[in-house]
Structure 1
Amino acid sequence: MSVFTFKDIQTVGQVIAENELYRHYHFPEMLSMYDSNFIEFKRIPSLDEFKQSAEYLRKFHKSRGQNHVKFYFPENQKPIKELMAYFREFCYDSGYLELYSIQPDHFPVVRKNSNLEVLQVTEENFEAYLKLQYEEDLQFGEAFAKQKVGLHKWNFTDKNVMQVIAFYEGIPAGSVDVIISDKSVEIDNLSVLEACQRKGIGSALQRFVMDSFPDKPVILVADGEDTAREMYRKQNYQYHGFQYEVQKVYE
C-alpha cells in the first residue's frame, strides 16, 4: 500500500514567507478562502510563539481586508494542553482532519440507478456545474460564492483538474473535483444537495472517479469530527493520519 501524507494534498495558495517555525500561505485571488490563507507550523509552537504568529497573521490579513486567521499543525501531532486551553479561552475553533486513500478496485460496487447520471464537466454542462457550486458555496456567504466562481472557471481550464457533476432525475444534484498528479488522484469538494442525499449520489460520484483512474490510488481529506469519515471507512478507505487546525473569525 502506498504511503501518503498531507503533503500529497493540493494547497491552493503560495508560500510567501517562511522561517524555522512556519510557512505562510497566501492566495490573493481569493482572500475569503480560509484554506488558502493560513500559517502552517513546522513544529508545535510554544504558547508565546503561537501568540506572536497569530499577531503577525492578524495584522497581515487585516491590512488586506481579511477577517480571519487560520493555522495548521504538524501531521500526527496534537497541540500541547496549554495551547488547547488558550484556544478555548479566546474562542478559536479547533478540530482535526483525517487523511484516507483507496485503491480503485477496493471501492464497493455501486448499484445502477436509472434516475442518476454522472458526467465529466464539459462546455455543455459547465453552466449547470457553476450554478450548483454557487448554491452550495452560498452557505459561506455571497462574497465567497462569487469569488469561488473564478476558481471554478480556472479549474475548468486546468488539465490536472477534472470536474464531475451528477444529475438526479435530470436535475444537478452533486459534484466532485478530481485533482490529478503523477502519484495519485485527489477527491476534493465532494458535495450533494441536501434534498438529494441518501440516494447513492455521493457513492456514484466516487465510483466515477475510481472508474476514470483505475490505476491510481485515490486520496481524500475528511473532517475528523464529521460523520462522512465513517462512510469512507465502510467504503474500504485506509486511514493514514491526522492534522490539527484552528481558526478564528473576527466580526
Structure 2
Amino acid sequence: MKQITFEDIFTLGNIVSENAHYRHFHYPEMLIRYDSNFIEFKNLPSLTEFKKVEKYLRNYHLKRGQNHIKFCLPANIKLAGELNVYLNNMGYKIGFLELYAIKPIHFPSVVSNPDIDIQMVTDKNLEVLINLKYKNDLAFGKEFARQKTDLIRRQFDDKDIQQVMAFYKGSPAGYVDIIISNETVEIDELTVNEMFQNKGIGSRLQRFVMDSFPNKTVILVADGEDTPKEMYKKQNYQYLGFKYELQKVYQD
C-alpha cells in the first residue's frame, strides 16, 4: 500500500489563496457547505498567528454572506496550550477526523442477501437518489438540502465520481459516492437510512466498491467521535492518522 495521507482525500473547493502557512479553500457554488469553505493550516499556528488568519477568514466570509468560519490543523498534531484555551473560550466546535485505508483483498466477505440490490446511479434512477439525499440533508436545513441537490447533479456529470444506491426489498435504503483517482478510490457519504440499518446494507455498499476497484487502495475519513469508525476497524481498515477541525457558526 502506498503511503496514504490526508492529501489523498478529495476536497470539494478551489484554493483561492495559499502561502507558507495555510491554504484557503472556497466553493462559491455552495457557500453554505462548511467542508468546502475553510482554511487548512500547514503548520500549527501560534495564538497570534491564528487570530490574524481568523480575522482574515471572517472578513472574507462576511463579504460573501457566509456565517461560519472553519479551520483544519495539520495531521497528527494535537491541540494544547493557549490556542486550545482560546478556542474553547471563543465557542469553537472542536472535532477530529480519522483517516483509514484498505486493500480490497483484505475486506471481509459479505453474506449474499437477495433483499439487497446495489445499483449504479443512472439517468433512470438519479431522481430517486436526489429525493433520498434531500430527505437526509434536511437535518442541515432546507436551503442546504436544496443546494445539495444541485451539487448531486453536478457530480453526476463528473467522470471521476460514481454514485451508488442500495435498495432493500425495492425501497431506496442507502447510498455511497465513490471518488476515483489514479491509485485510490475514496468512499464518501456512506449512508444507510435508519429504518434499514443492521441489515448488512453498509457492508454490501462497501463490497461493491471493493469489487469494482480491486487494484486500488480504498480510503475514507471518519468522524473521530462517531461509532462507524469501530465498524471500519472490524472490517480490517488500517488507521493512518487524525486531523483536528475547528468550526464556529455565528448567529444572524
Give the TM-score range, shorter chain.
Answer: over 0.9
Instruction: Report the equivalent of 2:183.
Output: 183
Cα deviation code 1:9-59 (max 9, x no counterpart)? 001111111222111110000000000000000100011111111111111
Aligned identity (percent) is: 58
> Is 2:127 aligned against 1:127?
yes
Instruction: Report the equivalent of 2:57.
Output: 57
Unaligned residue ranges in structure 1 (runs of 5+): none
Name the CA distance, whole Å, in 1 between partners of 2:50 and 2:105: 44
Name the CA distance, whole Å, in 2 between partners of 1:23 and 1:116: 42
Instruction: Report the equivalent of 1:15.
Output: 15
Correspondences of 1:46-125 after superposition (within 5 Å): 46-125=46-125
Name the CA distance, whole Å, in 2 between partners of 1:94 and 1:211: 36
Q: CA deviation at 1:62?
A: 1.2
The alignment yields a C-alpha RMSD, in angstroms, of: 0.8
| TM-score when normalising by structure 1 | 0.98
Correspondences of 1:229-248 after superposition (within 5 Å): 229-248=229-248
Structure 2 residue matching 1:77: 3-state secondary structure? coil
Name the CA distance, whole Å, in 1 between partners of 2:19 and 2:161: 31
Name the CA distance, whole Å, in 2 between partners of 1:18 and 1:216: 30
Name the CA distance, whole Å, in 1 between partners of 2:184 and 2:63: 38
Q: Could you tell me which amino acid in structure 1 is paired with residue 182 of structure 2?
A: D
Q: Could you tell me which amino acid in structure 2 is paired with residue 177 of structure 1?
A: D
Unaligned residue ranges in structure 2 (runs of 5+): none
Instruction: Report the equivalent of 1:155.
Output: 155
Name the CA distance, whole Å, in 1 between partners of 2:80 and 2:51: 14
Cα deviation code 1:139-180 (max 9, x no counterpart)? 111111111111111111111110000001111110000000
| TM-score when normalising by structure 2 | 0.98
Name the CA distance, whole Å, in 1 between partners of 2:208 and 2:35: 26
Structure 1 residue matching 2:29: 3-state secondary structure? coil
Q: CA deviation at 1:192?
A: 0.9
Q: Could you tell me which amino acid in structure 2 is paired with residue 111 of structure 1?
A: V
Instruction: Report the equivalent of 1:196.
Output: 196
Instruction: Report the equivalent of 1:145.
Output: 145
Moved over 6 A (4+): none
The answer on whether the counterparts of 1:3 and 1:240 sit within 8 Å (CA) in structure 2 is: no
